[in-house]
Structure formats: structure tokens, C-alpha cells
Amino acid sequence: MKLPDCKKNRPLREDTAGRLNIGYLISQGLKNRRRNRSGAVSSSAVLFVCLLLLGSAYLFAANIINILDVVQGENVIMVFARYDASKLQVDALGRQISAMENVEDVQFISKEEALKQQLALLKGSASAALADNLPENPLPDAYCVTVRNMEAFASTADSLKGLQNVENIRENRELAAQLTGLSKTAGAAGLGVVLILAFGSLLVVMNTTRLSMQKSEDAIKIMRVVGSTERDIRIPFLVEGIANGLVAGVLAFGVVWGLYAAAIAYLQPMISVFFAGQFLPFGRFVLPLIGAYLLVGLATGVLGCRFSVRNYFREKGKVVEIVP
């Protein structure tokens, strides 16, 4: 206690004075939460949706960036021979490519090999069925050309395209540009939605806190009268807000995890057909996600509660009069 105190007739232990009974205040907060169930459900739900979108946007962006890295780092151009080119013509093409100035390395990929590779990416029975039913190999012979100087990449690609017996080439500049555009749009839209939802969550948390404070009005008055500090009066409501935030965080984490696992299972084979890139493993997202969810959950809980408590005290005045 900060004020002088007379020891006479004082059965209470002085040394505990002023030490905050945090455990009790926390339990009060959880009790308030149970009493304010609809508030708990609505704040957790809105926050959950917000966190879910936030997490999905993050995972999506991280994967796009990863694929972009792979794609952009590729100093490789696939040159596909014409379907009707003879073995000799294809060999000649290979020598022509090797002779080119900016070519570091040339690797021949026969159409049989290519088919084998593609089939291997599909799952067992599907690939067998496909292999059996193909009338003939639909893939062309190809050369995998490694470019020496990336700055001359474009001109090399153009000259490769101009060679005889070349059906087409595949280089990923265009794809990279498209992916960049896509990730930017998705990122901006995602951020916008997340911001709106975060704001919404804040409002819902504030409203929930307010409801809870109204339900606890008598308790607040008693706390003030017996000499609780304003900080201590806030604690139960903070606990309630934080608990709601954490529930939303845990749920969102679980759901994002599940969705991501499903995405890998269903999308990976399709994606692998086009890119060397793979889905990033979920493990590397666990810590950042938990961190972000804790942060957002706590921040909404704390901020929403703070604003609400401040408004409450401002409205009701700091005064709790003796007359009702």
C-alpha cells in the first residue's frame, strides 16, 4: 500500500498488500466469457474468418513467390522438335544448338523419356491406365538448353525459336510475368479483405467487451468502491477478449493446416506437370502462422477491450456514486 497505514487491529498480512491477485481476476474473466457466450461466439467467429483469410493469403503468396523464384531462376529453355522431324533432323538440330554462342549445355530428352517422366508424376493406377490407352506418344523430342548469360536470354530464346525443325520453345518469362501479376492482385485483394475484416473483428470485440461490462456493472462498481485499480478492473475483460482471440487463432490454425494439406494432396500432381516447383511444406509456416495468429488474436482482444473499457469509463464517468 502506498499510503501510510496503521498496524493496530489489522489481522490481514501487510506484505500481501498491493500484490495483484491475477489468478482470481483471470478466473473472473473466463467466468464473464461463459456468461457472455453469444459475444464469445460472434467475436471468435469473425476473428476466425479474418485469420483464416489472412493465413490462406499468406500461404498462397508464399507459394507463388516460391514458384516465381524457381521459374525466374531457370536459365533453361526447352526446345521442342517438330513432331514429324526425323531422327536425323533432330540430331542435326541438337548439333546446331550446341554450336550456338550463348549455350552452355544441351541435353536431349527423347519423347519416350519425357512420357515416362510425366507418367511418373501421376499416381500409380492412373498412370498405368494412361500408358495403356495412349495410341501413340503425344510428346515431341526435346532439348533442354542451358543458357550461359542470362542477359542475352531473350535473344537466345528468339534464335532458338527461329531454328529449323523447331515446333516451339518453352521459356518461362511470360509465365513469370503472369504469376507476378496474379500474386500482386491476390495480395492486394487479400490485404484489403483482411484489413476490413480486422476492423470488423475489432468492432465485434469492442461490442462484446461492452456487453460483458454491462453485465458486470455491479461487480465493476464494487471493485471500484473497495479500491481496485483501474488496471485491475480491466483485467477480466482483457482476459475475455484475449481468450476469444485465442480460440479464433487455434481454430483458424487448424483449419488452415487442414486446407493446406488437402491442397497439396489434390493440386501437387497438377502443378508438377507445369513447374519444377513444389508446394512448400506446411512445417515452415507453423511458427510464422502461430506467431501471426497470436499477435492478431491478442492485438484485437487487447485493443478492442481497451477502447471499449475506455469508452465505458468515459461514459459512466470515473465516478461510481454511493447513491444508485
Partner 1 sequence: MIHIDGVSKTFVDGDRTVHAIQNLSLHVKRGEFVFVVGRNTSGKSTLFNLITRELKPDDGTLTVDGTELGRIREKDLPYYRRKIGVVFQDFRLLPNMGVFDNVAYAMRVIHSHSEKEIRKRVAYVLNLVGLAQEKSRASIHQLSGGERQRVAIARAMVNNPKVLLADEPTGNIDPEMKVEIFRLMRGISAQQGTTVLMVTHDHDLVKQFTGRVVTLEGGKLAGDKVYRVPLARIPATVFPAAAKLLLPGDERASAQTAGHGEAPQSEEIGRLNNLLSILNNRYGASA
Distance CA 75, CA 70 (A): 10
CB 171 within 8 A of CB 157: yes
Q: Rank residues 147 and 235 by Cβ distance to partner 1 and give the closer one.
A: 235
Least distance to partner 1, CB of residue 35, Å: 8
Contact letters (x/-) for Mg ion, 295-324, by CB under 5 A?
Answer: ----------------------------x-
Residue 87 binding target from Mg ion, partner 1, none, CB below 5 to 8 Å by type: none
Q: Rank residues 17 and 286 by Cβ distance to partner 1 and give the closer one.
A: 17
Query: Which cell numbers in the block locate residue 262?
Result: 488437402
Q: Rank residues 3 and 88 by Cβ distance to partner 1 and give the closer one.
A: 3
Residue 18 binding target from partner 1, Mg ion, none, CB below 5 to 8 Å by type: partner 1
- For strands 166-170 and 103-109, give the pairing: unpaired
Residue 17 binding target from partner 1, Mg ion, none, CB below 5 to 8 Å by type: partner 1
Burial class (CB in 10 A: 0-12, 13-18, 19+), 126: exposed
Least distance to partner 1, CB of residue 296, Å: 30
Residue 283 binding target from Mg ion, partner 1, none, CB below 5 to 8 Å by type: none
Q: Rank residues 132 and 321 by Cβ distance to partner 1 and give the closer one.
A: 321
Least distance to Mg ion, CB of residue 318, Å: 20
DSSP tag of 122: S
Q: Rank residues 136 and 321 by Cβ distance to partner 1 and give the closer one.
A: 321
CB 81 within 8 A of CB 165: yes
Least distance to Mg ion, CB of residue 217, Å: 20
Least distance to Mg ion, CB of residue 323, Å: 5
Q: Nearest 5°: phi and psi at 14?
A: -70, -35
Q: Nearest 5°: phi and psi at 127?
A: -70, -40
Least distance to partner 1, CB of residue 311, Å: 19
Specify the DSSP element, H or E, that contains 78: strand 76-81
Distance CA 57, CA 192 (A): 11
Q: Rank residues 20 and 154 by Cβ distance to partner 1 and give the closer one.
A: 20
Under the phi-then-psi rule, with left for phi > 0, alpha for psi from -120 to 50, and beta for the rest, what region is 275? beta
Residue 221 binding target from Mg ion, partner 1, none, CB below 5 to 8 Å by type: partner 1
**Residues 281, 284, 290, 291, Cα dihedral to 10°:** -150
Query: Which cell numbers in the block locate residue 73?
Result: 531462376
DSSP tag of 83: T
* Contacting residues toward partner 1, per CB under 8 A: 1-6, 8-13, 16-25, 35, 218-219, 221-230, 232, 319-324
Q: Which residues bind Mg ion (CB under 5 A)?
A: 323
